[in-house]
Amino acid sequence: MLTWQWTRFGGLSGDDVYDMLALRSLIFVMEQDCVYMDADGVDRQAWHLLGRDAEGKLQAYLRAVDPGVKYEVPSLGRVVVDPSQRGKGAGHALVAEALRRCDQVWPGAHNQISAQAHLQGFYGRHGYVAVGEGYLEDGIPHMGMVRAGS
């Protein structure tokens, strides 16, 4: 069971920022061997969803980017789950919670993502459909996906 924190960048504590950057680095840089500029300036223009366990350890994280920053509609990104939580439903809980919050902040708005291609089925379970052709992003196959607004 995770406890959710949903906040703008200014509402994050120093520990929150450290924990989110550490988890993002663990997954994207170390596990996926992807060298990229994580501090891309977008965090300041996004909502942040942090999922902590009973001991307070960050187990799941994503950011919901404001419309007009990456796409004309809101967008989820930097979706990560600690490896110890995989296969336990934490990823689905994270995305479902984020979409519920997005629907409150941006009612009726579509949501567009750049998904790693192998996760199309995962995002499809949350209402996303693939759009366009696949492409490489940071050396990893990706697919654009859109979820209709509710």
Q: What is the pLDDT of residue 13?
A: 98
The pLDDT, as a whole number, for residue 35 is 74
pLDDT for the residue numbered 34:
73
The pLDDT of residue 119 is 95
Domains of the chain in start order, with CATH, are 3-107 (3.40.630.30)
- pLDDT: which is higher, 106 or 27: 106
Residue 32 predicted with pLDDT over 80: no
Q: Mean pLDDT lowest for which of 4-8, 14-18, 30-34, 48-52?
A: 30-34
**High-pLDDT (> 90) share of the chain, %:** 85
- Dihedral of the alpha carbons of 62, 102, 56, 44, in degrees to the nearest 10: 60
Per-chain mean pLDDT for the chain: 94
CA distance linking residue 19 with residue 55, whole number of Å? 14
Write down the pLDDT at residue 5: 98
Please give the residue that has the higher pLDDT: either 39 or 91.
Answer: 91
> Is residue 59 pLDDT above 90, yes or no?
yes
Sheet holding 140-147, edge to edge: 111-116, 140-147, 128-137
DSSP state of 103: H
pLDDT reading at 145 higher than 90: yes
pLDDT bucket at 62, cuts 50 / 70 / 90: very high
Helix locations, the chain, DSSP H: 14-24, 90-105, 120-124
